[in-house]
Amino acid sequence: MSGPLRLTFVQSASRVDQLPESPAEVAFVGRSNVGKSSLVNALANRKQLARVSNTPGRTQLINMFEVDSARPDTATMVDLPGYGFAKAAKNITRDWPEMIEGYLLDRENLSMVFVLVDGVIGPTKLDEQMLDWLRYNGVPHTVVATKFDKVKSSKRATRKKELAAGCQLDQGDIVWVSASKGDGIDALRSLVRTWVG
Ligand code: GDP
């Protein structure tokens, strides 16, 4: 299978325990404003599947999508709320880390967590904490660096090196994407298919 991921919206949930079971799942997580909604839309080649927000931190829901895969039952992709936005409602910022941590540790059939890091400014302290936590807990994860088009061509080699070092990874471990221009989108689609297939 190639081409856009066929993503069908299943439901939004405010708590992970409201999500239906899934036979195979990948999740996307990242700081608010990292470009997660834009990336979900780019993967599906749709404009409005995930809401691109002008007000960072407003979309605090967990969004679940069915994703086409080689398997006979339905695989899923979960878009987790963005972390680290201070202006979000108090209860949400207080609740989410525990809730998300519970999901990342206990979700059955979660095969890969894609951690989005802003290609221009990342990794931030919070991204580093998230990566440390995932590593410490042995949760399988892949770093996706966003907004590749925003990095000047003359700076790209250095930025790739810096971002990888900041994430304590080799450059080749990181998937660089641009939701706006399409760089890396096919590669990421293939990875998603691999992990839910
Ligand atoms: P989210 O909060 O992580 O869901 O981020 P959004 O998808 O809402 O994007 C946050 C901002 O970054 C918006 O203004 C987007 O237009 C912008 N953005 C997202 N992806 C890209 C990209 O690949 N290139 C550029 N130049 N801007 C992007």
Report pLDDT digits (tens) over 159-180: 999 999 999 999 999 999 999 9
Q: Whose CA is nearest to atom 25 of ligand 1?
A: 147
Place of tokens 């290609």: 119
Q: What angle do CA 6, 12, 17 make, to 5 degrees?
A: 115
Residue 58 has a pLDDT of 47
What does the pLDDT look like over 70-100, one tens digit per residue? 777 889 999 998 876 544 444 444 555 677 8
Residue 134 has a pLDDT of 92
C-alpha dist (Å) from residue 174 to 5, 145, 152, 165, 187:
20, 7, 18, 11, 11
Residue 151 has a pLDDT of 98
Our answer on whether the CB atom of 66 is closer than 6 Å to any ligand 1 atom is no
Our answer on whether the CB atom of 60 is closer than 6 Å to any ligand 1 atom is no
pTM: 0.92
121 CA → ligand 1 middle, Å: 13
21 CA → ligand 1 middle, Å: 30
Q: What is the mean pLDDT of residues 21-40?
A: 93
**Segment of 31-40, 101-110, 185-194 carrying the highest mean pLDDT:** 185-194
C-alpha dist (Å) from residue 7 to 66, 69, 96, 192:
5, 10, 25, 12
Q: Does domain 7-196 have CATH number 1.10.3720.10?
A: no
Residue 88 has a pLDDT of 47
51 CA → ligand 1 middle, Å: 11
CA distance 15 to 58: 16
Our answer on whether the CB atom of 58 is closer than 6 Å to any ligand 1 atom is no
13 pLDDT higher than 90: no
Residue 52 has a pLDDT of 60
43 pLDDT higher than 80: yes
6 CA → ligand 1 middle, Å: 21
64 pLDDT higher than 70: yes
75 CA → ligand 1 middle, Å: 26
Q: Whose CA is nearest to atom 6 of ligand 1?
A: 35
Our answer on whether the CB atom of 107 is closer than 6 Å to any ligand 1 atom is no
Our answer on whether the CB atom of 22 is closer than 6 Å to any ligand 1 atom is no
Q: Which amino acid belongs to residue 20?
A: P
What does the pLDDT look like over 110-155, one tens digit per residue? 999 999 999 999 899 889 988 999 999 999 999 999 999 999 999 9
Residue 71 has a pLDDT of 79
